[in-house]
């Protein structure tokens, strides 16, 4: 084609494009009218929502325990809604100023047919706000829709709020929601789209506030009788402790018996809430469960509960007053118990020594002989510490131990030879030395032998003493024992020993008969 023909064709193309882009004044006026109607509807919804929020505020002032949860959720919905609506208002202002200049007024738009302003504000690569608006709508929808229990209403609100691009058949296509909504849109249409979003948000807010207001009373349980109950902390009270009980007003519905579960096992309804069983083990035990009752709206309300109980052994304490004796310098086992009180709630202290816990028992270690020990027992009863007893013990020195020779009998059992009867010379020769201990059936305490003396008589009747510095027979002592004939006797005397109390003492001798 000639250059002239090319120029004519180009002019036709430009003219056709201009005709296609031209938006009639009637269409723009229609957008303005729709926008005005939506704005009035949004304002009306906003006023209604303020009234609903005011009711929830009044409920919270008069009964915060009952309405506090719903008021808190309503406040969150209110704040998020106001934030999102204000953000959309700011987008309207930005689009109008982009079209009409810095003095642009949303309520008096001059260039309603501007096709670039909305795209610039919402879709520009650097500062486009369309993606931010889409994410804000998604976050708002995800926040409010779980609060709607009705599945149909939840779907309606979800469809209103979720920003999804669709084609004529309603199928999602390869185009973002912001591109579908604002690309190539005249200012009038873009403002109308944003106002519709505000209207949808106010509608969702209204639905949520209605639901939250109804929830305050919806779960109430209907009752037809009210009784007073006394619930004591304990029916057994120790002298000097406090009796405490909760006096409560309980409301019941005699037409329906609640279902009670202990753990996962249902309690027999014929027991009318009485839970009882035989306790076969001692200790502290916990149990839990829940109670189900029908609410006024027909739903089932579940009320969980937990409690605990303490089982102790049946016991009586019998003590001999004249035998309240502790031995100085050693660990004396003590049993301390308070009927009705678990061991972990009992504590004790003592004078003239130390008192320490050892499992379920106690260890008392007095210091000075002749000074009485006072053991004070306290118990924690229902959070209050109280002294329950003070017991006086006399402190005595350990009695002297008895010396003995350890040997092994024919069956391999260890035996203790204390004298007064024959013993084989072979066993005497094998014995390493002597030991000392208190083993009278009440005490079993070993002593350390420091030294001893053997006195053996020769054929002339002369005493031949030999000293051992320690618990072992010396070589001279063993040699003298080996020379003894059957029927002879010798003595182990001047035995010095020291016990766990640190006191050194000389103990009684042993008369040894050689067999």
* HEC sequence for 3-24: HHHHHHHHHHHHHHHHHHHCCC
pLDDT at 11: 55
pLDDT at 16: 45
Structural domain spans, the chain: 11-218, 225-311, 321-396, 402-514
First to last CA, the chain: 150
Q: Which residues pair with 76 in a beta bridge?
A: none
pLDDT digits (tens, 9 = 90+) for 386-434: 888 889 999 999 999 999 999 988 888 889 999 989 999 889 888 999 9
pLDDT at 416: 92
**Residue 188 burial by CB count (10 A; 0-12/13-18/19+): exposed, middle or buried?**
buried
* Contact (Cβ atoms closer than 8 angstroms) between residue 192 and residue 39: no
d(CA 91, CA 86): 9
pLDDT at 8: 45
Taking 80 as the threshold, does the pLDDT of residue 448 lie above it? yes
CATH class for the domain made up of 321-396: mainly beta
pLDDT digits (tens, 9 = 90+) for 42-67: 777 778 888 888 888 887 888 777 77
* Contact (Cβ atoms closer than 8 angstroms) between residue 434 and residue 471: yes
Taking 70 as the threshold, does the pLDDT of residue 240 lie above it? no
Task: Give the lowest-confidence range in 237-241, 281-285, 435-439.
Answer: 237-241
Taking CA atoms, 471 is separated from 141, 463, 486, in Å, by 92, 22, 25
- Tell which residue, 498, 290, 262, has the closest CA to residue 398: 498
- The distance between the two most distant Cα atoms of the chain, rounded to a whole number of Å, is 166
d(CA 287, CA 382): 19
Taking CA atoms, 483 is separated from 141, 492, 510, in Å, by 110, 16, 19
- In 3-state terms, what secondary structure has residue 67? helix
- Here the tokens at position 436 are 């000392």
Across residues 7-12, what is the average pLDDT? 53
Residue 344's pLDDT band, with cuts at 50, 70 and 90, is confident
* Contact (Cβ atoms closer than 8 angstroms) between residue 224 and residue 304: no
Residue 20's pLDDT band, with cuts at 50, 70 and 90, is very low
The label of the residue with tokens 């061991």 reads 343
pTM, whole model, 2 decimals?
0.43
């Amino acid at each position: 084609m000639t250059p002239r023909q090319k120029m004519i064709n180009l002019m036709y193309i430009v003219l056709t494009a201009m005709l296609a882009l031209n938006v009639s004044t009637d269409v723009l006026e229609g957008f303005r009218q729709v926008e005005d109607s939506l704005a009035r509807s949004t304002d009306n919804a906003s006023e209604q929502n303020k009234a609903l929020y005011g009711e929830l505020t009044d409920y919270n002032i008069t009964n915060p325990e009952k309405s506090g949860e719903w008021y808190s959720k309503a406040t969150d919905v209110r704040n998020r809604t106001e934030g999102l609506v204000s953000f959309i208002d700011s987008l309207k202002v930005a689009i109008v100023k982009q079209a009409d200049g810095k003095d642009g007024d949303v309520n008096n738009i001059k260039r309603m047919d501007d096709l670039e302003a909305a795209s610039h504000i919402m879709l520009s690569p650097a500062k486009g706000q369309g993606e931010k608006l889409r994410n804000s709508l998604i976050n708002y929808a995800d926040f409010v829709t779980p609060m709607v229990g009705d599945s149909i209403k939840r779907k309606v609100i979800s469809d209103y709020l979720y920003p999804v691009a669709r084609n004529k058949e309603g199928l999602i296509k390869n185009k973002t929601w912001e591109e579908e909504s604002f690309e190539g849109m005249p200012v009038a249409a873009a403002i109308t789209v944003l106002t519709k979003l505000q209207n949808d948000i106010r509608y969702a807010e209204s639905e949520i506030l209605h639901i939250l207001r109804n929830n305050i009373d919806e779960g109430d349980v209907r009752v037809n009788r009210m009784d007073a109950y006394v619930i004591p902390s304990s029916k057994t009270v120790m002298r000097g402790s406090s009796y405490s009980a909760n006096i409560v007003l309980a409301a019941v519905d005699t037409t329906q018996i609640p279902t009670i579960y202990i753990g996962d096992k249902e309690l027999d309804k014929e027991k009318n809430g009485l839970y009882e069983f035989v306790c076969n083990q001692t200790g502290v035990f916990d149990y839990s469960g829940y109670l189900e009752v029908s609410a006024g709206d027909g739903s089932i309300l579940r009320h969980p509960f937990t409690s605990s109980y303490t089982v102790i052994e049946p016991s009586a304490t019998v003590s001999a007053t004249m035998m309240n004796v502790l031995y100085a310098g050693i660990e004396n086992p003590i049993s301390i118990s308070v009927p009705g009180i678990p061991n972990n709630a009992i504590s004790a202290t003592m004078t003239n020594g130390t008192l320490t816990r050892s499992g379920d028992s106690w260890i008392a270690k007095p210091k000075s002989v002749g000074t009485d020990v006072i053991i004070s027992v306290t118990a924690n009863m229902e959070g209050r510490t109280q002294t329950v007893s003070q017991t006086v013990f006399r402190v005595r020195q350990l009695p002297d131990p008895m010396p003995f020779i350890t040997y092994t009998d024919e069956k391999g059992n260890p035996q203790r030879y204390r004298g007064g009867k024959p013993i084989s010379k072979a066993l005497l020769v094998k014995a390493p030395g002597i030991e000392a201990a208190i083993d009278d059936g009440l005490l079993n305490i070993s002593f350390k032998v420091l030294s001893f003396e053997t006195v053996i008589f020769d054929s002339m009747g002369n005493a031949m003493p030999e000293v051992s510095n320690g618990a072992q027979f010396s070589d001279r002592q063993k040699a003298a024992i080996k020379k003894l004939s059957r029927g002879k006797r010798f003595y182990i005397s001047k035995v010095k020993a020291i016990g766990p109390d640190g006191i050194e003492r000389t103990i009684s001798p042993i008369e040894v008969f050689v067999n």
